[in-house]
């Protein structure tokens, strides 16, 4: 029977592991304990029963001997084992982890801040663990876009009575949901990081009621108003939420910045377009509801940020990936003129004459909207408003691009830059080495299909692109998965990294150089044990969140993070990243300083007509040539025909 108990223990351990990865540990733990107790009771009962039979005269008369007892016990043991497995399986499928909102700080019982008054009412936030930062989560910046407000411009938020406790992030915007266990495994495999801790046994709430923002501010008040960063998360305009650890703003707040992030409508909820919606809109707009949400955040911050110690005259908008594309769109929108000063854009823009992603023509937007109505067998957008959000979200990934609606975006973005009507007064921007690699894991690239794959985005210029980026390009340091996807995979990743992510920055910087607007471009190449220098790999460095994944970074990573944070904060203060290291706070003293510690940062040269170098962010900081200039020449030819 040792094997029986061994199997019970093994199955229980495996099951508990699955429960933990599924964030369903608490309820199911109770059931596991009860099931184990029942099994032990049953086994004890069986042993006593057989012992009684063995000593019984009737047991001997009826031939219930040792062989029968062993066979019977083995049968009952396996029956008990399968019953146990059945109970566990039923528990897994019939119980679900609780759905909650994510706390805005990590400490379990944070202290509450003093009451703040804004236009909507009074509110309180919470302190982080060492009392260096005050955090305010889940502040509504617009009415819930539900019911009749679906597919409409964001409406002014309602006022509330009493004091609102703003201690949690708002719900995640509607988006496709992977099984929780999938996300846990992705964190282990992708980040090599998974922490078992009490208090996180839940899944984040997802809702169409998502228009909330969050503010991180230094705990100590000063006489001077502080500059503000508004961060827009990435995720292809399809996924993402401000509660992700990479988007937290505690560390920038410690360096004297007011940091704001927000949720906005995604996918079909944020970018569905239809002519009937345009007709009913007071602004004759459709297709840019997510972008209009972002503009509503900008307006809210201008109106209310003084109450949190922020300066509405010194606002920087920032974002990565689709968030950077959004930042670029905000730079061309006539609705944002005068609402911000500087822009930070990491790994994307919409400035090519024919953007490769996150932007489409108005005609294409209407066609996509028609496809949505056809998919759900409705004729009008009003009928589409009656489709439950959980059903409508299934079409979300196909409809996640901004468009020229004539209101938020008047024309093709590059034309606004040609006219000099863009809004940013300075730009900090750049890209990583392996931008496209993680997006193309399902694409095998060989010598035979290489040009064909390039032609999907480069058309008739695919052959010329293949000459500049030959299929047998010496492989850079690839991920083990990428190595197994064909001899041309490395070259394909280089080409698409340039097309999708780095060329748009090249174009943006060139426009600003012509205008005489300060532009600073970086090239992130640092390797590590997590996202390395793939897409989004720079985020935890720039915003000071390496410590959230302890043990995965070494001293050189933390040193680079301090440098990058100093560049970013200097830029937010002055529109120029150069200067000295920003002072690092001593945890627990409850103070911060806008002073700098006197040590000069490596010089980051501004882009100019005579200088197109990038600042390489790595263990060694230095100005380098853009490695993709030859590729850009081919893309320029392709774009000139569009």
As annotated, the active-site residues are: 321
The DSSP symbol for 497 reads H
- Quick one: which H or E segment has residue 91? helix 66-94
Determine the Cα angle at 216 with ends 519 and 247, to 5°. 60
How is 209-269 classified by DSSP, letter by letter?
---EEEEEEESS--SSPEEEEEEE--STTTS--TTSGGG--HHHHHTT-EEEEE----HHH
Say how far apart CA 123 and CA 136 lie, in whole Å: 9
Token code pair at residue 202: 């839940």
Closest C-alpha to 540, from 327, 247, 254, 216 = 247
Beta-carbon count within 10 A of 371 CB? 13
Token code pair at residue 464: 């010329």
Q: Are 126 and 105 in contact (CB under 8 A)?
A: yes
Determine the Cα angle at 472 with ends 471 and 474, to 5°. 125
Say how far apart CA 642 and CA 637 lie, in whole Å: 9
Catalogue the E-assigned strands of 39-124.
99-100, 116-118, 121-124
Token code pair at residue 618: 């790595």
- φ, ψ at 151 (rounded to 5°): 60, 35
How far separated are the first and last CA of the chain, in Å rounded?
75
**Rg value, the chain, Cα:** 29
C-alpha 259, offset from chain centre: 16
- 3-state class (DSSP) for residue 403: strand
Positive or negative, the Cα torsion across 65, 71, 77, 83? negative
CA atoms within 13 A on the CB side of 128: 23
Q: Are 498 and 431 in contact (CB under 8 A)?
A: no
Alpha-helical (H) ranges within 102-219 are 180-191
Q: Are 403 and 287 in contact (CB under 8 A)?
A: yes
């Amino acid at each position: 029977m040792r094997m029986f108990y061994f199997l019970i223990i093994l199955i229980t351990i495996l099951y508990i592991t699955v429960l933990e990865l599924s964030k369903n540990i608490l309820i199911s733990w109770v059931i596991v304990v009860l099931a184990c107790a029942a099994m032990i009771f049953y086994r004890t009962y069986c042993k006593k029963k057989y012992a009684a039979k063995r000593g019984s005269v009737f047991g001997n008369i009826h031939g219930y001997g040792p062989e029968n007892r062993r066979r019977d016990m083995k049968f009952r043991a396996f029956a008990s084992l399968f019953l146990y497995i059945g109970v566990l399986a039923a528990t897994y499928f019939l119980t679900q982890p609780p759905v909650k909102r994510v706390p805005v700080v990590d400490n379990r019982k944070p202290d509450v801040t003093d009451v703040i008054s804004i236009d909507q009412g009074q509110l309180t936030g919470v302190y982080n663990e060492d009392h260096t930062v005050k955090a305010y989560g889940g502040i509504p910046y617009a009415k819930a876009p539900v019911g009749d407000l679906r597919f409409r411009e964001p409406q002014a938020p309602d006022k509330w009575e009493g004091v609102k406790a703003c201690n949690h992030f708002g719900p995640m915007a509607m988006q496709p949901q992977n099984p929780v266990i999938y996300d846990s495994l992705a964190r282990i495999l992708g980040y090599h990081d998974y922490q078992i801790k009490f208090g996180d046994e839940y899944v984040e709430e997802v809702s169409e009621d998502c228009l909330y923002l969050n503010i991180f501010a230094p705990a100590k008040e000063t006489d001077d108003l502080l500059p503000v960063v508004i961060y827009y998360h990435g995720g292809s305009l399809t996924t993402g939420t401000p509660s992700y650890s990479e988007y937290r703003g505690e560390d920038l707040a410690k360096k004297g910045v007011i940091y704001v992030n927000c949720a906005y409508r995604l996918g079909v909820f944020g970018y569905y377009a239809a002519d009937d919606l345009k007709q009913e809109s007071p602004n004759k707009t459709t297709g840019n509801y997510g972008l209009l949400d972002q503009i509503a955040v900008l307006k809210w911050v201008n109106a209310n940020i003084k109450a949190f110690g922020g300066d509405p005259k010194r606002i920087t908008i920032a974002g990565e990936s689709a968030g950077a594309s959004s930042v670029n769109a905000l730079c061309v929108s006539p609705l944002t003129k005068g609402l911000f000063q500087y822009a930070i854009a990491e790994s994307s823009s919409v400035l090519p004459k024919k953007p490769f992603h996150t932007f489409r023509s108005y005609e294409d937007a209407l066609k996509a909207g028609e496809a949505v109505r056809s998919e759900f067998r409705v004729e009008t957008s009003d009928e589409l408003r009656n489709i439950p959000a959980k059903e409508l979200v299934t079409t979300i990934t196909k409809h996640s691009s901004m468009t020229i609606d004539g209101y938020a975006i008047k024309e093709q973005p590059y034309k606004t830059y040609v006219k000099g009507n863009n809004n940013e007064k300075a730009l900090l921007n750049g890209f990583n080495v392996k931008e496209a690699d993680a997006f193309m894991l399902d694409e095998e690239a060989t010598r035979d299909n290489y040009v064909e794959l390039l032609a999907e985005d480069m058309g008739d210029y695919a052959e010329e692109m293949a000459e500049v980026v030959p299929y047998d390009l010496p492989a850079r340091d690839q991920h083990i998965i990428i190595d197994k996807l064909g001899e041309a995979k490395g070259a394909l990743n280089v080409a698409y990294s340039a097309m999708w992510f780095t060329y748009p920055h090249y174009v943006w910087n060139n426009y600003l150089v012509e205008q005489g607007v300060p532009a600073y471009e970086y090239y992130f190449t640092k390797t590590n044990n997590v996202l390395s220098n793939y897409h989004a790999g720079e985020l935890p460095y720039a915003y000071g969140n390496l410590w959230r994944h302890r043990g995965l970074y070494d001293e050189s990573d933390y040193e680079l993070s301090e440098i990058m944070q100093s560049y970013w904060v200097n830029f937010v203060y002055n529109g120029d990243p150069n200067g000295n290291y920003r002072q690092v706070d001593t945890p627990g003293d409850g103070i911060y300083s806008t002073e700098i510690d006197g040590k000069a940062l490596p010089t980051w040269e501004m882009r100019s007509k005579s200088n197109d170098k990038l600042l390489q962010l790595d263990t060694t900081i230095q100005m380098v040539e853009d490695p993709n200039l030859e590729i850009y020449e081919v893309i320029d030819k392709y774009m000139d025909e569009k």
